[in-house]
């Protein structure tokens, strides 16, 4: 799992933490908070430094309310905008103040989504109070209960705007299932075999027929 790391200059980090630049320099000299040192001599900080620094200040980390939105492809950018706007209006109607909006374009089967990873980094560092999503499958396609259990362990509430599946996401479900079939059929028969191609074709026809008949 690729981890996305945000890098802060000493000035940016001092504002984020609420201390002076000189305080950060003093902590560095005293060995309390050792930043990343560039060849130029400049100091750089990460969110991990932020957690350590907050402990030095005996300052509880701010807990945020975060909207998380996702679509599977660039063709759905308009849908992503609509999804975010709907979530914002949902929060306004319930008096929920949103601190940050995170969004990804990528498959729900892919847990390497940059903003999805950022969200869980924040959760694991105890900086999230609640996460608001449109549908469960906007979060993950499979294993939602597992991720929900992690959130509960860190006292994070997940609010799902719509509990029923939206018909517009059914084609995306077909694409995700076809991805799974492709991986397993390739392992069984080889990625270029006749049997693999036939299995994929039949599976796609069955899935699309099921959607049309509902």
CATH number at residue 103: 3.40.50.1390
Range of the domain at 96: 64-160
- Whether 2 is in a domain gets the answer no
Residues 150 and 174 in one domain: no
- Whether 43 is in a domain gets the answer yes
| Alpha-carbon gap, residue 37 to 43, rounded angstroms | 5
Please count the structural domains in the chain. Answer: 3
Residues 51 and 71 in one domain: no
What does the pLDDT profile of the chain (214 residues) look like in tens digits?
445 578 999 999 999 888 999 999 999 999 999 999 999 999 999 988 988 898 888 777 778 999 999 988 888 899 999 999 999 999 999 999 999 999 999 887 788 889 999 998 889 888 899 999 998 888 887 778 888 999 999 899 999 998 665 545 566 666 656 666 656 666 666 666 656 666 556 556 655 565 555 5
The CATH number for 45's domain is: 1.10.1660.10
| Alpha-carbon gap, residue 4 to 206, rounded angstroms | 39
Residues 148 and 103 in one domain: yes
Residues 144 and 208 in one domain: no
Runs of H (alpha helix) within the chain: 10-17, 21-30, 47-56, 77-93, 114-124, 136-139, 144-153, 170-189, 194-213
DSSP per position, 165-203: PPGGGHHHHHHHHHHHHHHHHHHHH-TT-HHHHHHHHHH
- pLDDT at position 139 is 85
Residues 94 and 140 in one domain: yes
Pairing of strands 8-9, 43-45: antiparallel
- Whether 92 is in a domain gets the answer yes
Residues 108 and 130 in one domain: yes
Q: What residues are labeled active site? A: 72
pTM over 0.85, yes/no: no
Pairing of strands 43-45, 36-37: antiparallel
Strand partners, 131: 66, 158
Residues 49 and 95 in one domain: no
Residues 45 and 123 in one domain: no
Residues 209 and 178 in one domain: yes
- Whether 73 is in a domain gets the answer yes
Query: Minimal CA–CA distance to 200: which of 214, 211, 190?
Result: 190
Residues 41 and 119 in one domain: no
Residues 85 and 47 in one domain: no
- pLDDT at position 69 is 95
- pLDDT at position 97 is 95
| Alpha-carbon gap, residue 163 to 131, rounded angstroms | 15
Tokens 């694409």 belong to: 175
Residues 76 and 138 in one domain: yes
């Amino acid at each position: 799992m690729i981890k996305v790391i945000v890098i802060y200059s000493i000035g940016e980090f001092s504002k984020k933490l609420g201390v002076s630049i000189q305080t950060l320099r003093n902590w560095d000299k005293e060995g309390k908070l050792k930043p990343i040192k560039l060849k130029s001599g400049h100091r750089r900080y990460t969110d991990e430094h932020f957690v350590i620094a907050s402990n030095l200040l005996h300052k509880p980390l701010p807990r945020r309310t975060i909207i998380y939105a996702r679509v599977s492809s660039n063709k759905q950018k308009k849908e992503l905008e609509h999804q975010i706007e709907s979530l914002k209006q949902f929060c306004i109607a319930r008096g929920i103040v949103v601190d940050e909006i995170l969004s990804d374009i990528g498959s729900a089967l892919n847990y390497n989504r940059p903003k999805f990873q950022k969200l869980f980094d924040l959760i694991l560092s105890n900086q999230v109070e609640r996460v608001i999503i449109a549908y469960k499958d906007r979060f993950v396609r499979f294993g939602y209960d597992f991720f929900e259990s992690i959130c509960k362990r860190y006292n994070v509430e997940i609010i799902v705007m719509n509990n029923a599946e939206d018909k517009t996401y059914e084609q995306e479900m077909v694409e995700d299932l076809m991805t799974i079939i492709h991986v397993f059929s390739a392992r069984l028969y080889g990625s270029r075999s006749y049997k693999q191609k036939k299995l994929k074709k039949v599976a796609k026809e069955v899935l699309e027929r099921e959607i049309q008949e509902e």
